[in-house]
């Protein structure tokens, strides 16, 4: 049994079918890069896995638990799967430490001292233990994104979904965030990431998924997908002829 099983997933917004039958099984510890043109449904797929969108058809399960659209099931799923967003989405009224502590205390009812200990550990993991008391608006974009990663990690998820997490960053800040992700991958975290960082995908990922018009158009290990694209759409996307 795979860690994440996505079976015949369809998703429509009104008459617009955005996901047209996605099948994808992710094994524990896999790092999967999702690439494709803007509008091909990459974000929607991640959002469905985390229950931010309800799927129109098909099924998704994470570690054997079915994704169902009721509060108890959603909560169970979201405790297993963390998500990092392009825009960081830190809580502006809380410090970095407060951001990492909040959901532990609210959702898991972790006592404050333990939540704080965990927060310090997670901030250290992303190299920001010295920023525990800083507010988001005192941090650079790269630092904010690393806090967001620490915040997701503090819930001890078994997989992380990353939606273009370096796209909103100035070029010189991309590397520090990717370094954190690279480390997570090395530690065996299961990762599904939508990314435009092809070098990173090639170096770190176990498989690359090329999405096109709501379908998985090509899938395979990075050496194959990048070196030997099969379809004209992927060739065009990669700029090889």
Partner 1 sequence: MNYQFEFGWLFEYYPQIVKGIAITIQLIAVGAVAGISLGIVCAWVRALGPAWAKPVVAAYVELIRNTPFLIQLFFIFFGLPSLGLQLSELQAANLAMVVNLGAYSSEIIRAGIQATPKGQFEAGSSLAMTPFEIFRHVVLVPSLQRIWPALSSQVVIVMLGSAVVSQIAAEDLTFAANFIQSRTFRAFEAYMVSTAVYLLLAILLRQVLGMVGWLIFPRRAAR
Ligand X SMILES: Nc1ncnc2c1ncn2[C@@H]1O[C@H](COP(=O)(O)OP(=O)(O)O)[C@@H](O)[C@H]1O
**Which stretches of the chain bind Mg ion, using CB under 5 A?**
43
The only residue of 8, 59, 106, 114 in contact with partner 1, by rule CB under 8 A: 106
71 versus 172: smaller Cβ distance to partner 1: 71
Site for partner 1 contains 82 (CB under 8 A): yes
**Interface positions, 38-57, toward partner 1 (CB under 8 A):** 50-52
Q: Answer whether 60's CB lies under 8 Å from 9's CB.
A: yes
Token pair, residue 239, equals 């700029």
**In the block, residue with structure tokens 């617009």:** 16
Site for ligand X contains 41 (CB under 6 A): yes
| Bridge partners for 46 per DSSP | none
155 versus 209: smaller Cβ distance to ligand X: 209
| Cα distances (angstroms) measured from residue 44 to each of 20, 100, 241 | 11, 26, 29
Site for ligand X contains 50 (CB under 6 A): no
Q: Compute the chain's Rg from CA coordinates.
A: 18
68 in helix, strand or coil?
Answer: coil
**Cα(96)–Cα(130) distance, integer angstroms:** 10
| DSSP run (H or E) holding 79 | helix 71-80
Question: What, of ligand X, Mg ion, partner 1, none, does residue 11 touch, CB below 5 to 8 Å by kind?
Answer: none
The only residue of 65, 107, 227, 240 in contact with partner 1, by rule CB under 8 A: 107
Question: What, of Mg ion, ligand X, partner 1, none, does residue 135 touch, CB below 5 to 8 Å by kind?
Answer: partner 1
Question: What, of ligand X, Mg ion, partner 1, none, does residue 3 touch, CB below 5 to 8 Å by kind?
Answer: none
Q: Answer whether 193's CB lies under 8 Å from 33's CB.
A: yes
Strand blocks (E) in the chain: 4-13, 16-26, 31-36, 57-62, 65-66, 81-84, 159-163, 190-194, 207-212, 215-220
Question: What, of partner 1, ligand X, Mg ion, none, does residue 226 touch, CB below 5 to 8 Å by kind?
Answer: none
The only residue of 13, 75, 140, 221 in contact with ligand X, by rule CB under 6 A: 13
Q: Which residues bind partner 1 (CB under 8 A)?
A: 50-52, 71, 74-75, 78-79, 82-83, 85, 87, 89-93, 102-103, 106-107, 135, 137, 148, 151-152, 155
Q: Which residues bind ligand X (CB under 6 A)?
A: 13, 16, 18, 36, 38-44
């Amino acid at each position: 049994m795979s860690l994440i099983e996505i079976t015949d997933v369809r998703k429509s917004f009104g008459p617009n079918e955005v996901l047209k039958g996605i099948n994808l099984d992710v094994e524990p510890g896999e790092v999967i890069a999702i690439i494709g043109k803007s509008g091909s449904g990459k974000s929607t797929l991640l959002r469905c896995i985390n229950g931010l969108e309800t799927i129109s058809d098909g099924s998704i399960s994470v570690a054997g638990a079915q994704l169902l659209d009721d509060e108890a099931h959603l909560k169970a799923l979201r405790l297993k799967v963390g998500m990092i967003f392009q825009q960081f989405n830190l809580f502006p009224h809380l410090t970095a430490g407060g951001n990492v502590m909040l959901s532990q205390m609210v959702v898991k009812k972790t006592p404050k001292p333990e939540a704080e200990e965990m927060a310090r550990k997670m901030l250290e993991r992303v190299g920001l233990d010295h920023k525990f008391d800083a507010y988001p608006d005192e941090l650079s974009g790269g630092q904010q994104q690393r806090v967001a990663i620490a915040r997701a990690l503090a819930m001890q998820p078994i997989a992380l979904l990353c939606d273009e997490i370096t796209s909103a960053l100035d070029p010189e800040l991309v590397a520090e965030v990717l370094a954190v992700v690279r480390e997570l991958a090395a530690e065996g975290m299961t990762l599904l990431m939508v990314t435009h960082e092809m070098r990173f995908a090639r170096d770190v990922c176990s498989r690359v998924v090329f999405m096109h018009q709501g379908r998985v158009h090509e899938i395979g290990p990075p050496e194959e997908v990048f070196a030997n694209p099969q379809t004209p759409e992927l060739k065009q996307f990669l700029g090889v002829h």
